[in-house]
């Protein structure tokens, strides 16, 4: 079905390979905006080469200001495949993922990453295609006390890093399941959590069978390294979700995702990047890689026969800046770590150039939306009869 | 300054020229979504060749349904340069533009266009860089009775077309100036008008010197060929502006623009396309071409010397579909006509697949925005102190 995914691993590689230098510069300017440079990889990071995953770096610079120092922060994005077959015991699968991420997080530390973000529901296979409750619900854990939070707390302390850990959460009191990110700071303290605001009902993404729309609003976490928000997966299709994180002051919004297929891939490079532009913050889009096979067959509501494989997750994680520029993507089919150095001063600098926040007329839209959600709303339609 | 513009006229041409077929297919799938085909150009349109502008066509198809016939509509987008030097008398300049557009509109008619959209303030040079009142304000005219509306009314009747005519408007009563589109139907009747909602203060775009934010809401015009909205130029940067046209039922939203430079070009392919995806309607982005030179020098607030030339408008008009696919662009530096056949059934079909409208939680955002515009709004910021 997704054979196309195998044919090449990275769009930018193809452009680089075939297009002559002068024209390539123009193509990239139009497609990807202002050129970015790479970070130097320090000597102690040569051990990276021993681990089998791709490492890419990128640097987004801002203009020098008289009254503010540069506010440099290094973010790390990890995209990975599951570590064991989905038929293994739940705890074994989870521990194997913990171990895999530990190695990549250590590589991130050697690249001086300050804030690391993992992919959506990183501690499990993305089993929601099956609509089976067991054993998948057994992966759900407490945001405060669960084994994954405990593991990440240790990692944060050891590596002096903020880590954004997207998990399947089971509420401590009600036992309700949620799709949640836990934000843990560099001291190992749980700064807070956020529950996915928009839940898909598309193709194999039967997530609404498992959990409902989040009830945590649009929190922005004030970390030592900057103000961050997290727009989980399908929320990237919703401009209002991105907007509210901006209104609450986010400078970086992470978008940990799990997505496959021809349907979403042409949208992937558009949405997080549009959000960075419209809201004048950095966005970090992360998608898993690999194909996950489940023990029992399931159907996809597409008229095709029952099958056991989810389509191939196409990776392609990237970072977009408020000025419309963006990093290169990680591979479509390899595990990887993308490290980007951001100068957060760029957010305000771009706000001052484009003035989108000044000109956005929020009071008009607060009023328009309030009218629009009234059950008696009459859309503003002009035809020959009502002129 | 804008020498880069001259180096090539079309991004897609470069990709086509250098990248081998199999890889090109993948590159285009990722960059531009599902492939589109071209329209057949009828025999009677061979006269097109006699006129010196580019013609491109594109066809967006929908699935067959049992209970609805395809709802095919052909839209035409015209991008052009001014017709005479800006030093000529106002009326001469306007009449020369009328004459130029008449020819291209006739070509559009031979391609059976139903709805034609012209570029922003098409009846004049984009003189707002100068901040001079005269003679530029003399181009402003009545939306109902002005010479351009009269000219377009005749054209609509003659060619059996709806035409969207963006003008500089002077209000009949108050004499206030607005940046306005007039929608005229195929009978020559003025269906209505809409005034630009968001006004830029960026670089040479000193438009807020001339006109203020529009007071006409987000009207959707019910034409014989479908429900259309118009998001004028800088409004494309505002997701809420796009959203309200969708809420009011638009199936096609036109974005007549005038934009230049490195700052906006990397955003150009992103924003109207993101709007098509997020709102499940077609979007049509139009930009002028050429460089406009003014009699007196002006500065651009960028520390550079005074000059008389606006940067080069980079054209690149295109159509984007709700499924994330898009047409090829018109040239960056040639006048042109893009004709796209849309099956409007695609809007509902994509809504049913992605369910963005069902899952967008408008009541949550109506409430959040209402709170956010309160002067005492306390952003939802989580730090160690307020846990």
Q: B360, B353, B274: which is closest to A199 by C-alpha?
A: B360
Q: What is the CA radius of gyration of chain B?
A: 21
**For position B52, what pLDDT does the model report?**
81
**For position B5, what pLDDT does the model report?**
41
CB contact under 8 A, B218 and A247: no
ipTM score for this prediction: 0.95
CB contact under 8 A, A372 and B269: no
Give the residue-averaged pLDDT of A191-219: 97
Give the residue-averaged pLDDT of B184-197: 98
CB contact under 8 A, B365 and A244: yes
pLDDT at A35 over 80: yes
Contact A330/A88 with Cβ under 8 angstroms? no
Bridge partner list, B286: B256
CA distance B118 to B341: 17
A266 sits in which H/E element = helix A261-279
* Closest CA in chain B for residue A367: B370
**For position B48, what pLDDT does the model report?**
59
Contact A86/A292 with Cβ under 8 angstroms? yes
Given its phi and psi angles, is residue B342 left (phi above 0), alpha (psi -120 to 50 degrees) or beta? beta
Which positions in chain A touch B373 (Cβ < 8 Å)?
362-363, 366
* Closest CA in chain B for residue A278: B237
pLDDT at B3 over 50: no
**For position A192, what pLDDT does the model report?**
98
- State what percent of residues in chain A have pLDDT above 90: 89
Q: In residues, how long is chain A?
A: 387
Q: What angle do CA A217, A195, A72 make, to 5 degrees?
A: 80
Contact A83/A93 with Cβ under 8 angstroms? yes
pLDDT tier at A84, thresholds 50, 70, 90: very high
DSSP B49: G
**For position A190, what pLDDT does the model report?**
98
**For position B354, what pLDDT does the model report?**
97
Q: Are strands A226-230 and A289-290 parallel, antiparallel or unpaired?
A: unpaired
**For position B44, what pLDDT does the model report?**
65
**For position A43, what pLDDT does the model report?**
60
> DSSP letters of A28-96?
HHHHH-S--BPPPPPGGGGGGGGSSSEEEEEEE-----SSS---EEEEEEEE---SS-TTS-HHHHHHH
A276 token code pair: 């960075």
Give the residue-averaged pLDDT of B53-63: 94
**For position A5, what pLDDT does the model report?**
41
Contact B233/B202 with Cβ under 8 angstroms? no
Which positions in chain B touch A387 (Cβ < 8 Å)?
191-192
**For position A384, what pLDDT does the model report?**
80
Q: In this complex, which of A29, A249, A363 lies closest to B266 when CB atoms are compared?
A: A29
pLDDT at A263 over 90: no
Give the residue-averaged pLDDT of B197-209: 95
CA distance A186 to B89: 68
Give the residue-averaged pLDDT of A230-246: 98
pLDDT in tens, B284-330: 999 999 999 999 999 999 999 999 999 899 999 999 999 999 999 99
**How high does pLDDT run on average in chain B?**
94
pLDDT tier at B386, thresholds 50, 70, 90: low
Name the residue with tokens 């992937």.
A268
Lowest mean pLDDT among A347-361, B38-52, B183-197: B38-52
**How high does pLDDT run on average in chain A?**
94
pLDDT in tens, B130-144: 999 999 999 999 999
Catalytic amino acids of B? 120, 196, 233
pLDDT tier at A262, thresholds 50, 70, 90: confident
**For position A349, what pLDDT does the model report?**
98
Q: In this complex, which of B11, B189, B248 lies closest to A30 when CB atoms are compared?
A: B11
Q: B32, B55, B52: which is closest to B42 by C-alpha?
A: B55
CB contact under 8 A, A11 and B32: no
CB contact under 8 A, B359 and A8: no
CA distances, B302 to each of A29, A65, A280, B79 (Å): 21, 16, 21, 28
The whole model's pTM is what? 0.95
- State what percent of residues in chain A have pLDDT above 70: 95
The upper half-sphere exposure of residue A137, i.e. CA atoms within 13 Å in the direction of its Cβ, equals 13
pLDDT tier at A45, thresholds 50, 70, 90: low
Q: In this complex, which of A15, A33, A373 lies closest to B266 when CB atoms are compared?
A: A33
Give the residue-averaged pLDDT of A281-301: 97
Q: B253, B295, B293, B311: which is closest to B277 by C-alpha?
A: B253
**For position B335, what pLDDT does the model report?**
96
Tell me the three state secondary structure of residue B53. Answer: coil
Name the residue with tokens 């109506």.
B366
Widest pairwise Cα distance in chain B? 74
**For position A386, what pLDDT does the model report?**
63
């Amino acid at each position: 079905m997704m054979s196309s995914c195998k044919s090449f691993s990275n769009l930018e590689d193809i452009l680089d390979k075939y297009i002559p230098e002068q024209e390539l510069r123009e193509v990239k300017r139009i497609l990807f905006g202002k050129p970015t440079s790479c970070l130097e990889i320090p000597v102690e990071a040569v051990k990276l080469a021993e681990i089998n995953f791709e490492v890419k770096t990128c640097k987004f610079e801002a203009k020098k200001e008289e009254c503010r120092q540069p506010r440099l922060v290094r973010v790390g994005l990890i995209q990975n495949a599951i570590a064991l077959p989905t038929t293994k015991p739940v705890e074994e699968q989870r521990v194997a993922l913990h171990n895999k991420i530990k190695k990549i997080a250590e590589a991130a530390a050697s690249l001086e990453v300050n804030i690391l973000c993992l992919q959506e529901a990183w501690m499990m296979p993305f089993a929601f295609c099956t609509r089976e409750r067991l054993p998948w619900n057994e992966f759900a854990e407490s945001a405060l006390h669960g084994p994954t939070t405990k593991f990440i707390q240790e990692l944060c302390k050891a590596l002096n890093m903020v880590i954004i850990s997207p998990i399947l959460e089971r509420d401590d009191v009600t036992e309700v399941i949620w799709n949640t990110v836990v934000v843990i700071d560099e001291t190992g303290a749980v700064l807070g959590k956020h529950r996915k605001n928009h839940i898909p009902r598309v193709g194999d993404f039967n997530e609404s069978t498992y959990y409902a729309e989040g009830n945590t609003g649009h929190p922005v976490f004030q970390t030592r390294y900057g103000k961050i928000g997290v727009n989980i997966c399908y929320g990237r299709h919703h401009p209002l979700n991105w907007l509210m994180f901006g209104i609450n002051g986010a400078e970086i919004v992470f978008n940990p995702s799990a997505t496959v297929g021809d349907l979403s891939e042409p949208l992937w490079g558009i949405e997080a990047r549009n959000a960075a532009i419209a809201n004048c913050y950095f966005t970090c889009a992360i998608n898993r890689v690999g194909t996950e096979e489940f023990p029992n067959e399931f159907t996809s509501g597409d008229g095709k026969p029952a099958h056991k494989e989810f389509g191939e997750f196409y990776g392609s994680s990237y970072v977009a800046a408020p000025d419309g520029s963006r990093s290169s993507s990680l591979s479509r089919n390899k595990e990887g770590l993308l490290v980007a150095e951001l100068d957060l001063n760029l957010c305000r600098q771009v706000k001052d150039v484009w003035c989108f926040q000044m000109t956005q007329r929020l009071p008009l839209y607060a009023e328009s939306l309030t009218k629009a959600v009234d059950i008696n709303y009459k859309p503003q339609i002009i035809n020959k009869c009502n002129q």
